[in-house]
């Protein structure tokens, strides 16, 4: 039996198997959490709402979200909010000739979420955080934003790693 391409009942069976085992997309939970954290940050940024209000209103319209997805989303959002002055400063230092208020709102919040993950979850490899941010940018932002986000995050990530190891770039 050929594995690809699958059609008809074989495709539905394969999809059901993936859902039951959750082996097909091991990063699915994290990706979904990163996208939801971006959306929470975007709501807080543009809505100028208190953080607790964002949390309450955001989850009301979400339907079924697994505890793992919600937990990691909340963790990313909390780090991004708790360390927002530090995160914004890092982004501005590494985004040459760009102020935060001049960046597209989606790009600004993709960067915030990714830098929050770099700071708050240092065991996640820098390349993973950057690649995830790039994929989210491809989904939610303009095509020309991908290189900008990649460059800023690579530079920020190198500085964070250098500081963690005790050296300076």
pLDDT of 167: 62
Burial class (CB in 10 A: 0-12, 13-18, 19+), 1: exposed
For the entire predicted model, the pTM comes to 0.80
Crossing angle between the packed helical segments 51-60 and 28-47, to the nearest 10 degrees: 130
Average pLDDT, the chain: 82
Place of tokens 């995830």: 132
Percent of the chain with pLDDT over 70: 82
In this model, does residue 13 exceed pLDDT 60? no
3-state secondary structure of 68: helix
Fold of 26-164: N-utilizing Substance Protein B Homolog; Chain A (1.10.940)
Crossing angle between the packed helical segments 84-94 and 67-82, to the nearest 10 degrees: 70
In this model, does residue 24 exceed pLDDT 50? no
Range of lowest pLDDT (2-6, 72-76, 119-123):
2-6
In this model, does residue 25 exceed pLDDT 90? no
CB of 69 closer than 8 Å to CB of 36: yes
Rounded CA gap, 96 and 100, in Å?
11
CB of 103 closer than 8 Å to CB of 144: no
**What mean pLDDT comes out for the span 28-49?**
91
What are the extents of the domains in the chain? 26-164
State the DSSP code for 97: T
In this model, does residue 2 exceed pLDDT 70? no
Residues 100-153: pLDDT tens digits?
889 999 999 999 999 999 999 999 999 999 999 999 999 999 999 999 999 999
CB of 40 closer than 8 Å to CB of 54: yes
């Amino acid at each position: 039996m050929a594995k690809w391409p699958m059609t008809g009942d074989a495709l539905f069976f394969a999809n059901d198997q993936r859902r039951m085992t959750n082996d097909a997309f091991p990063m699915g939970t994290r990706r979904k959490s990163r996208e939801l954290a971006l959306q929470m940050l975007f709501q807080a940024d543009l809505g100028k709402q208190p953080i607790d209000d964002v949390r309450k209103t955001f989850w009301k319209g979400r339907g079924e979200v697994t505890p793992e997805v919600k937990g990691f989303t909340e963790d990313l959002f909390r780090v991004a909010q708790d360390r927002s002055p530090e995160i914004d400063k890092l982004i501005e230092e590494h985004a040459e000739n760009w102020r935060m208020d001049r960046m597209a709102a989606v790009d600004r919040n993709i960067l915030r979420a990714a830098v929050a993950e770099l700071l708050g979850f240092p065991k996640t490899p820098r390349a993973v955080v950057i690649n995830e941010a790039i994929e989210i940018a491809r989904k939610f932002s303009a095509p020309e934003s991908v290189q900008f986000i990649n460059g800023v995050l690579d530079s920020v990530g190198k500085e964070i790693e250098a500081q963690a190891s005790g050296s300076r770039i």
